[in-house]
Amino acid sequence: MKKIRRSCFCLCLTGIFLLSTGGVLQAEVLEKMDAALGLALEAQAEADAFLRERQEEEALLMRLRMEAEALRFENHMLEKRIAGQHQKLEGLEAASDPGRVARLVEPLLGRLTDALEERMDNQPPFGMEARKMRVQRLREAMEDGEKNTEDRFRLFLDGMEAELNLGVFPDTAPGIWEKEGETLRGIFLHLGAAGLFFLSPDGDMVARWDRETRNFHPLDRREGRAVERALAMVQRRMPTELISLPVSLPEVP
């Protein structure tokens, strides 16, 4: 009888031990499953973030393509307008009355010069010193009695051609940004009507020109890195590739 009791007691201990061991194993399995589930959720979150970023880049690329088409349309219309005015001038100069030609063309040149200056004011302020100097020379020529109508019109065509060619290709130039009374020296990256960016030499400050406020606004770190890569491409310090840049779309009348 005692042997039977001892045997039962041993069986009970064995059962308790197995149950305890099974509980430990089950806890380990659950812990591994939780870890695997956590990794899966992190991977899914990363995939969702990548998909959102890809969609944003595709949307921006579409906007850039639309912007490029708008700029081509604007330049095409301006070139047609200039060509038409040039043909009118040739016809007028062929007339027998030079005074009549001057009376017709001089007011037109004044209006075209005003339109050229207005266009400059609506574009990012890159290379403004040279651009304003061209307009100033044109206005001085219109007041110079020794300049004839043909000389003045050709000077206007030269200024308009230089203005249209500005920004056709990306360009850079050193410059100064007056930020709230503080003078910051750096590099300006010009992408035509699409945008103008300022980068400090140490890379701590990257800003974009805003056409609404007529001022530069600092970019966040992610956008700043994209602009730094664009500058490196323009300066041929890295191969050209497709990147997403924060740009300000122009309004086309």
- Confidence at residue 15, expressed as pLDDT on a 0 to 100 scale: 53
Q: Per residue of the chain (253 residues), what is the pLDDT tens digit?
A: 544 555 555 555 555 554 455 555 667 767 777 777 888 788 888 888 888 888 888 888 777 777 777 778 888 888 888 888 878 777 666 655 556 656 677 777 888 888 888 888 778 888 888 888 888 888 888 777 777 778 888 888 888 888 877 777 788 888 888 877 778 888 898 887 678 899 988 878 888 988 888 888 888 888 888 888 888 888 888 888 777 777 765 554 4
- Confidence at residue 253, expressed as pLDDT on a 0 to 100 scale: 41
- b/e map of 37-60 (b: 16 or more CB within 10 Å)? eeeeeeeeeeeeeeeeeeeeeeee
The secondary structure of 55-91, three-state, reads HHHHHHHHHHHHHHHHHHHHHHHHHHHHHHHHHHHHH
d(CA 187, CA 166) in angstroms, rounded, equals 17
Which residues lie across from 183 on neighbouring strands? 178
- Confidence at residue 248, expressed as pLDDT on a 0 to 100 scale: 63
- Confidence at residue 7, expressed as pLDDT on a 0 to 100 scale: 56
- Confidence at residue 98, expressed as pLDDT on a 0 to 100 scale: 57
- Confidence at residue 24, expressed as pLDDT on a 0 to 100 scale: 58
- Confidence at residue 101, expressed as pLDDT on a 0 to 100 scale: 58
- Confidence at residue 2, expressed as pLDDT on a 0 to 100 scale: 46
Q: Which of 90, 97, 76 is nearest to 153 (CA)?
A: 90
d(CA 166, CA 229) in angstroms, rounded, equals 22
Indicate the SS3 state at residue 232. Answer: helix
How far is CA 125 from each of CA 42, 120, 196, rounded to the nearest angstrom?
A: 45, 8, 8
- Confidence at residue 171, expressed as pLDDT on a 0 to 100 scale: 85
